Copies of this chain bind each other. A is one copy, B any other.
Amino acid sequence: MPKVGIRDVAKLAGVSTGTVSRVLNDHPSVTTELRERVRGIIKELGYTPDPSARSMRSKVSRLIGIIIPDLTNPFFAELVQSTEQAAANHGYNIIVMTSFDQAAKEVNRIGQLTSRKVDGIILVPSNDFHTITPPKAVPIVVVDRLMPGYSGIAADHRNGARLGVEYLLKLGHRRIGFISGPTHSVPAKDRLRGYLDAMEHIESSQKIASAPLIAEAAFDYESGRSAGNYLLARARNERPTAIFTSSDQQAIGCMRAAHDLGIPIPAALSIVGFDGIPLSSMTTPRLTTVKQPIQKLAAAAVAALLNKQPARSTDSPVLFACELSEGETTSAPQPD
């Protein structure tokens, strides 16, 4: 069965290949009637244009690349999934790559994608990603972990964190602990700022515990657990009545730490997470968390690439608001 090409369609429809091509690309200058007829033939023959030939001539591959540090991280997994959806809505497909947080691998992958002539790259940079050779060949949009010099899209981590902390404040908490992410990471730093923003307002009016309220940790479960342990292992009137964490995994680890110390949640300790990964609604009790608008991020990233505003690199990044998802790990504080 010789595969059917555009010429077959043209011949059968009694038109030129150019016209068929114009029909395929929804070019306006084709009679509606003729357009319909050609469409009919196309369907009849089961013709599908060859993407290679297409891309070779038109320089459009309908392919976008996405590079993330680690697909095992639920947040990134969901980001990729949402991106695939968003891309599909535009007739695009995605090539997924993992950098394992290694700058070298990342640069290599960007090169691969570039030579594949993808129409754009969505990049979640590795943490040791030092601004690399400006890859002007293909538009890049940086997601989540913003970088100067690149157009970026991210959740508003700072205000998101503030949102979470203010929620705790409104419940009546004053000694609010914070488990930070690694501060060499931009989002972690922003969340810390948000925490400080919110706490600033009470700092003056009410004197707070002298013991530390902030602990830096990696984003993972185990780090959250030990940081939680660090913050909670003191006399009751010294320890925080609530802890705001920088990731859901930290929060879950922190819940474990509290549990091991015999501190009931939410009765004696409120916990708020960050991210809103699926797992967060599966804990017991369900985690109160600040949810990142992952789908919006993905949609915006794809849109940014497709409208490929040129030289948008110096623009300020686009931020999307987070929203609070109330679970069962928060309540008003008990009196000391």
Report which of B81, B117, B284 forms a contact with A71, defined as CB distance below 8 A.
B81
Which of A52-60, A205-213, A319-327 contacts its partner? Answer: A52-60
Assess whether A238 is interfacial by the CB under 8 Å rule.
Answer: no
* Interface residues in chain A, defined as those with a beta carbon under 8 Å from any beta carbon in chain B: 48-53, 55-56, 61, 63, 70-72, 74, 77-78, 80-81, 84-85, 88, 93-98, 112, 115-117, 220-222, 225, 249, 253, 256, 260, 278-279, 282, 284
Tell me the nearest residue of chain B to A91, going by C-beta.
Answer: B112
In the complex the two chains form, is A50's CB within 8 Å of B117's CB?
A: yes
Copies in the complex: 2
- A72-B61 contact in complex given A93-B97, A282-B222, C-beta closer than 8 Å: no
In the complex the two chains form, is B112's CB within 8 Å of A93's CB?
A: yes
Main secondary structure of the interface of A (DSSP, over half): helix
A179 to chain B, nearest CB (A): 16
A96 to chain B, nearest CB (A): 4
Cα A84 to Cα B253 with chains together (Å): 30
Contact partners of A77 in chain B: CB under 8 A: 71-72, 74, 77
Contact partners of A88 in chain B: CB under 8 A: 97
A7 to chain B, nearest CB (A): 15
In the assembled complex, 17 residue pairs joining A and B whose CB atoms fall closer than 8 Å, in A order, are: A49-B115, A50-B117, A51-B52, A52-B55, A52-B56, A56-B56, A71-B77, A72-B77, A72-B81, A74-B74, A80-B96, A84-B98, A94-B96, A222-B282, A225-B284, A253-B282, A279-B279
A16 to chain B, nearest CB (A): 21
Tell me the nearest residue of chain B to A70, going by C-beta.
Answer: B81
